[in-house]
Structure 1
Amino acid sequence: MDGAQSRTGAIVPGAFQKGRAALSNPANRFESAIAEPFDDGWDTLSEDLVDMPPIRTQLIREASRSALTYNDSPDIGFDRSLNPYRGCEHGCIYCYARPSHAYLGFSPGLDFETKLMFKPDMAALLEKELSKPGYVPRPVALGANTDPYQPVERRLRLTREVLEVLERFNHPVTVVTKSAGVLRDIDILARMAERNLAQVAISVTTLDSNLARRMEPRAATPMRRIGAIAELSRAGIPTAVLAAPMIPAINDMELERILSAGANAGAKRAGYVLLRLPLELRQIFEEWVQKHFPDRARKVLSLIRDTRGGATYQSDFHTRQTGTGVYAGLLAQRFARSVESLGLVRRGGGTQGLDCSHFQVPGTAVQPALL
């Protein structure tokens, strides 16, 4: 039977929760003890799972000391990011951020989708950091880890508060999301775009609504995302379409159609990322593909290993986003050919052309251009 969560809190592998993508709650890599469901032979485990209620989303307040996170990775086009939330209710089965939930003592599985950390002081912390003497502005990536417009944003509005701070400081920002919720802040983003301070990238994984429901159960439908690209573009906000991630034998055949749909909606830039399965994400994804695509699961996993030197994941700089080998090379060629034919510009981190010279701490004299 398809189960849910037992009264002890353990998740039965292969269980199915409506509106959730992960099928289990695998132990994170920092745990010294692992609890597993056990049936004593009397079928009591199945009885325990009968009519269990769905797992509800739990919001957990997080006290942060800083707003900005810095990195020196050569694989991404920004050196700082900002995330009002940790964990994501969109529940994308392929999300590379899932393993980060282990640092919080939670599972990267269903916990990642249902136990969400929110940072209510993020806007105040950001204002304090931007006001520090000697702060040098660079474009900040909003949504580099988890989606800033996941469903809870409708109520908490933390992302909007952050954008209000960035607008007051004339600080450049790039937003990455798979939610049409970004349109709620189109007023701020349009004003910032007029000063070349804002760009938005919309992630479109598939144009198949049935596949999207299985891969990313609480994200916006594909057509809502294409519609968001159109509305953002009409508002004068530079917008990119991201075909990300491309999963071998699952959605890779849609690459050209996704890019074409984005271009027709007004996107001027494009990007793609090959599926990557770091740490606990490997088990979570393998359970999912075995459940939803048993007829091709072996082929999917074989192709993934072909792009990672025989492993399910390699973390090497410069190749972890695009993979290696014949399949990865063909995907890169297809992307390049499609971008050229559609007249799109390849997205390189989402910060190209943003203007840092307008930055100014409110209430101070105009600063000279720093870049």
Structure 2
Amino acid sequence: MNSLFSPLVHGGAQLPSRIVMAPMTRARAAQPGNVPTDLMAEYYAQRASAGLILTEATQISPQGQGYSFTPGIHSADQVAGWRKVTDAVHAAGGRIMLQLWHVGRMSHESFHADGLPVAPSAIAPGASVWVVDPATGKGNMLPCPVPRALATSEIPGIVQDYASAARNALEAGFDGVEIHAANGYLLDSFLRTTSNHRTDPYGGTVENRIRLALEVAEAVAAVFGPARTGIRFSPFITQRGMDDPDAPDAILTLARALNDIGLGHIHIAEADWDDAPETPMGFRVALRQAFAGHIIVAGGYDARKAQGMLTRGLVDMVAFGRPFLANPDFPQRLVGNLPLADFDPGTLFGGGAEGFTTYQPYDTLPQP
């Protein structure tokens, strides 16, 4: 029986446990240029005891940005900054994969010269993104505008942007990459009938709607190797105009195609707000049948729920987000059944070390 603390070989790397640090946006990249910093290297190295770290979402191109101060992987300075992160994590004995990100319509006009984010169709998501006012230095949630629909001729360029970002990630020393195709971002919006009204080869039928994600996966896997490439989905998200009952079937169809190319993992982001829909057991079983690679799940898991999924054989790894924020030694706290510290929500986005690298391991804290 697998447990959270069972080792696992993933993408050629020996993981000491099934505990994954989930990707979490922290918005602390250096400006100008959205460059990873020494502070980010310290942050990730502090959490190197995770079986696997998945980095915060990282834009593949300037067009792919939707939030202030998020890092990129498309410039030489960004690659050099990420190399400091991977070196620090590896020196601490960890393993780290970069999450590749194009936000699509989940963006703001201030990030685009023409004021228009891109999407499969010109449909606003009815959502907001975190944008820092350059005059005040303060961030606020601002509404996303109506995007412009990508021309068919532009799509091969976006696939190449993903491939280029993967090459940069390889140069930066990452152990693998994960393609972000969840939460209403570009690839996810192509999958869904609510956001994709195209009539070209990238819209309409399920085979057409999964086409872009499959092309991206093939391009990225050609760089890193399929075993070191993963992808993230959120089948049952209802926010951001994503409430599409056809999405789970589209994702299962795509999973079968990704299985054929030997992709290393599928990561399911489960909604974790109070009234969120449950992920049906039937979907979990169907995904396991469709995909022979590793399956990661994330979203409001505790140790007991995580172990239950592992025991049933429905998942191979479980990703934890918020617990890793205030508990850099989270795996050790699980092993020892030690109390978890709470994080300060006021320090989630932007700022410096406070609420980022200032949380301490349990064994360094004053004991009663």
Which TM-score band (shorter chain)? 0.3 to 0.5
**TM-score normalised by length of structure 2:** 0.41
Structure with larger Rg: 1
| Greater strand content | 2
